[in-house]
A = this chain, B = another copy of it.
Amino acid sequence: MGPNRHDLLTIGQLAERSGLATSALRYYEKLGLIHSERTAGGQRRFPRATLRRVAFVRAAQRVGLSLEEARGALDRLPEDRAPSTTDWNGVARSWQTRIDEQIADLERLKAKLTGCIGCGCLSISRCALYNAGDRAGAAGPGARYLLTRDPGTGPEPRTTEG
Contacts and interface: CB of A to CB of B under 8 A. Distances in A.
Given A62-B133, A110-B99, A138-B61, A127 B88 contact: no
Interface residues of A, number: 59
Contacts of A137: 62
B88 A114 contact: no
How many copies altogether?
A: 2
B117 A92 contact: yes
Contacts of A160: 21
A1 interface: no
A36 interface: no
A52 B124 contact: yes
Max chain B Cβ within 10 angstroms of own Cβ: one of A62, A63, A96: A62
Contact of A82 (B15, B96, B122, B143): B122
A120 B21 contact: no
A83 interface: yes
Interface of A: 15, 19-22, 48, 51-52, 55-56, 58-59, 61-64, 66, 82-85, 88-89, 92-93, 95-96, 99-100, 102-103, 106-107, 109-110, 112-114, 116-117, 120-124, 127, 129-130, 133-134, 137-138, 143-144, 146-148, 160-161
